[in-house]
Structure 1
């Protein structure tokens, strides 16, 4: 079903959408992030403009990077296996944490990762920036694991990735691997991948890695040339890049961005069973054509405020009285790709029940004390 929304309704939605998205996520199931229309599985397009070109993808989204306006979507919050598009989340998580000049000698575990690889060797040391190029250009699963191990290990990196996803309000996303290799419970959505790409575009290093067409890569004896897997970098005017992915279970997926005349359009597709490059180019063309001419059908929400990080240095006595803030990474993860994708209700429920239990115990003790006092007067 196609939902063509009248302009008057879209104008009202443009006003109410931010409130829906930033109301504390108290009800993530009934209030889709970005607006009510984005919770629908059918095609949602604004009235007064031509429909977007057809695509074989089960889910897609077209949005403006600058404003966050979603111009069209189909099953925007549908959860699917992300394949290597998840590497965009790995990159935005680890780029701020790792020194690009740090030299890393990968482990045998990293070198022997299955699937696409850049060809790391345990005999060679690589700069972190080389590994990021391998991650985003060659889609190296070996590079993904080497970066995760450099960040303190796989478990630490997955906690960090899921914490970043929640800060972005990408509640459909659950990372179980740093590479995007299929794993039960791992998921993302067209909407979430657009949030992740939009965040990445703010980082100059991320933009540099995703837009590089070819680069020299270290080898045990000399070097060899690697090329970016994003075909549109060579074929589409203004293409910035981001990431494509494919596995037999996930099928084809892509999230990318292009800039023309000062506007940047983001396109995401998920679960495409064939050759999708021409369709992505057509969706980008459509996005540029209708940008600014139609009210949005939804919005890419802004990230939540950063949680204060624990300092690696001893605190002075002047700051020791500050109340600690629980880091987002400690929140339990949703394990099922079929779930609502919101914050784990057990965490919220635990806080509410715990507070009520404490209040009840205090009230009970107060009552018992009053009974004892009143009994002594008889």
Structure 2
């Protein structure tokens, strides 16, 4: 039921966006030289002189950096673009933590609950706090939680726009997000350097830090709760480990970004395209980072985020958007929506939008006509 009649001009403006929504993304120009310094453009190993070289790693690409000082201590193919797998969830979390109320309750859609790959086990019959979904995302690597969060944020398209804008703001220009979960999709990419930048930004956010460093937590279920645990094995095995995220798909192979703090300094290690069994290697790379920090010249820098870009101005006269979480959707509409293809959704939006538009124009015309007669 309509509780407010939107002015025709406003409705026309908003209706024109319904059939083909475009989300404004701040534009940042990528630099012509490698981000973080010339040495970051090397495809081979780059390490400082005067100290022992980093331990060998089977990773195709990696970065060891002092987050506190903003220095890259060693790198191998730092800007090589590879499939990120679930390490992309670091960008999902960092982006959406800033946009979603963690106390908001959400009932996930069937689409979210049926995501392939790793899952925390969401049920469309239960409601979850956004805070719970972030725990599921970063602790259990839940692809179902990633989709539920994206839908709560306004849908996958909007979330991808938000994530890619955040990546550019961080100067993570190698990163292109196509899915909120990190599941492989053509055109999706990141780099070891970018994962270090994203992790550094995340570590500065208290909620992000809380999610990645939590070892175990109670998770709600339709009846009661169950316990989930963090997939990062180094939280139990490495002194000073604070988290961040691991990932794996058949195409991406293993990827990981992790951070540890000792003596007031945090070292981050990010690896990409590893065949697996990387936990001991990462521990050795972290040890090396702590041992050379402050004793050798860095080979690069972790650049700072760009200033916040002003959002694109809202079209004049357009009505403010109303946010509806999946939990607020009637079951019948939820079922119908899950059965639609992209084509039927588009056609349905056009038909329904056109019908409403015609009805409002006719109503407006009738009111004008009636008022005209009363003046005669």
TM-score (norm 1): 0.75
Distance in 2, matches of 1:48 and 1:142, equals 48
Distance in 2, matches of 1:295 and 1:194, equals 19
The corresponding residue for 1:37 is 39
Deviation at 1:25, TM superposition (A): 5.0
Deviation at 1:26, TM superposition (A): 6.2
Identify the match of residue 135 of structure 2 among 133, 136, 139.
133
Indicate yes or no: 2:98 matched with 1:101: no
The corresponding residue for 1:65 is 67
Identify the match of residue 236 of structure 2 among 217, 234, 237.
234
Identify the match of residue 266 of structure 1 among 265, 268, 278.
268
Distance 1:26 1:74, change over 3 A: closer
Q: CA RMSD in A?
A: 1.6
Residue deviations 1:261-315 (CA, integer Å, cap 9, x gap) = 1010010000000200000000000000000000110011000000123689x99
Structure 2 residue matching 1:225: 3-state secondary structure: strand
| Structure 2 stretches lacking a partner, 5+ long | 1-27, 318-376
Residue deviations 1:54-93 (CA, integer Å, cap 9, x gap) = 0000000000111210000000000000000000000000
The corresponding residue for 1:300 is 302
The corresponding residue for 1:20 is none
Distance in 2, matches of 1:202 and 1:114, equals 31
Alignment of structure 1 residues 5-44 onto 2, 5 Å: 27-28=31-32, 31-44=33-46
Alignment of structure 1 residues 214-293 onto 2, 5 Å: 214-293=216-295
Deviation at 1:151, TM superposition (A): 0.2
Structure 2 residue matching 1:73: 3-state secondary structure: strand
Indicate yes or no: 2:179 matched with 1:209: no
Distance 1:129 1:184, change over 3 A: same
The corresponding residue for 2:173 is 171
Distance in 2, matches of 1:186 and 1:304, equals 22
Higher relative contact order (CA 8 A, sep 6+): 2
Structure 2 residue matching 1:46: 3-state secondary structure: coil
Structure 1 residue matching 2:47: 3-state secondary structure: strand
Distance in 2, matches of 1:162 and 1:70, equals 24
Distance in 2, matches of 1:69 and 1:58, equals 21
Give the number of equivalent residue pairs.
Answer: 290
Deviation at 1:27, TM superposition (A): 4.5
Residue deviations 1:90-141 (CA, integer Å, cap 9, x gap) = 0000001000000000000000000000000000000000000000000000
Indicate yes or no: 2:56 matched with 1:75: no
Distance in 2, matches of 1:111 and 1:51, equals 46
Residue deviations 1:7-28 (CA, integer Å, cap 9, x gap) = xxxxxxxxxxxxxxxxx85653
Distance in 1, matches of 2:285 and 2:173, equals 25
Distance in 1, matches of 2:31 and 2:307, equals 19
Structure 1 residue matching 2:62: 3-state secondary structure: strand
TM-score (norm 2): 0.75
Distance in 1, matches of 2:118 and 2:213, equals 19
Distance in 1, matches of 2:94 and 2:29, equals 23
Distance in 2, matches of 1:142 and 1:27, equals 36
Residue deviations 1:136-190 (CA, integer Å, cap 9, x gap) = 0000000000000000000000000000000001000000000000000000000
Distance in 2, matches of 1:68 and 1:145, equals 32
Q: Is the 8 A contact 2:30 2:173 kept in 1?
A: no
Distance in 1, matches of 2:31 and 2:48, equals 26
Structure 2 residue matching 1:224: 3-state secondary structure: strand
